[in-house]
């Protein structure tokens, strides 16, 4: 297992076919203001790839964009809504189809309100991940070893979590409603980008 670091694009041909786990690191939580700094991606075979974008980047990353926009590859996320918005805003592609482990967790782990990645990895896989670097400076000219390991850990477990959660969705009869939620996520991300992030357009008021 290795973590590979790349500047501005993913090398061609480094990922095996099939679903890919995806995550992003940004300067903050307001997509239009807080630039995309890192995209993490893994094919689930044991390696993680980190693609860093420098300040002033044109986000011209044809290899990465091709993978993210490939309709034959399912993209695995934890809280896909945020990552989809960041990728669409900065890279200009819709990174779907989607499986979101946070949404799946909320649909089947109704016995808890702890749906963060750390809790999922601990309960379902018996592993531990550190969230210490979550709020660190992802726009720094050089990423620390701790930042790189944190970023890699955010995609390292998503394939295994997807398998377990998909089984539970099937067991509880919620696969179809989960898929409907996943299919809507790119639109939900576009609503966020268009200014409806804090508005429930389905509510009566």
Residue 169 contacts residue 108 (beta carbons within 8 Å): yes
- In angstroms, the CA 184 to CA 181 distance is 5
Residue in this structure with the two tokens 């890919």, named with its chain if needed: 20
131 occurs within a structural domain: yes
SS3 label, residue 141: coil
47 occurs within a structural domain: yes
65 occurs within a structural domain: yes
- Dihedral of alpha carbons 103, 74, 77, 27, sign: negative
CB atoms within 10 A of CB 1: 9
Whether the pLDDT of residue 204 is over 80: the answer is yes
> Tens of pLDDT along 25-53?
999 999 999 999 999 999 999 999 999 99
204 occurs within a structural domain: no
202 occurs within a structural domain: no
CA torsion 103-109-114-117 (nearest 10°) is -50
Count of the separate structural domains present in the chain? 1
Q: Look up the domain containing 85 and give its range.
A: 3-196
203 occurs within a structural domain: no
| DSSP count for the chain of H helices, then E strands | 7, 6
68 occurs within a structural domain: yes
205 occurs within a structural domain: no
Whether the pLDDT of residue 132 is over 80: the answer is no
Domain of 60: which CATH number? Answer: 3.30.420.10
Confidence grade of residue 131 (pLDDT, cut at 50, 70, 90): confident
């Amino acid at each position: 297992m290795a973590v590979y670091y790349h500047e501005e694009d993913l090398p061609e041909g480094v990922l095996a076919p099939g679903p890919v786990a995806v995550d992003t690191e940004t300067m903050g939580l307001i997509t239009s203001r807080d630039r995309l700094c890192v995209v993490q991606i893994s094919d689930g075979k044991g390696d993680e790839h980190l693609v860093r974008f420098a300040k002033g980047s044109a986000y011209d990353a044809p290899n990465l964009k091709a993978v993210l926009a490939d309709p034959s590859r399912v993209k695995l996320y934890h809280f896909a809504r945020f990552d989809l918005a960041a990728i669409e805003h900065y890279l200009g592609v819709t990174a779907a189809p989607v499986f979101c482990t946070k949404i799946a967790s909320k649909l089947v782990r109704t016995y808890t309100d702890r749906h963060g990645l750390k809790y999922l990895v601990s309960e379902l896989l018996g592993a531990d991940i550190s969230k210490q670097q979550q709020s660190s400076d992802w726009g720094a000219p050089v990423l620390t070893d701790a930042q790189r390991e944190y970023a890699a850990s955010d995609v390292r477990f998503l394939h295994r979590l997807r398998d377990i959660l998909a089984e539970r969705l099937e067991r509880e009869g919620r696969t179809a409603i989960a898929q409907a939620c996943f299919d809507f996520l790119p639109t939900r991300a576009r609503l966020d980008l268009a200014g409806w992030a804090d508005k429930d357009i389905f509510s009566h008021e």
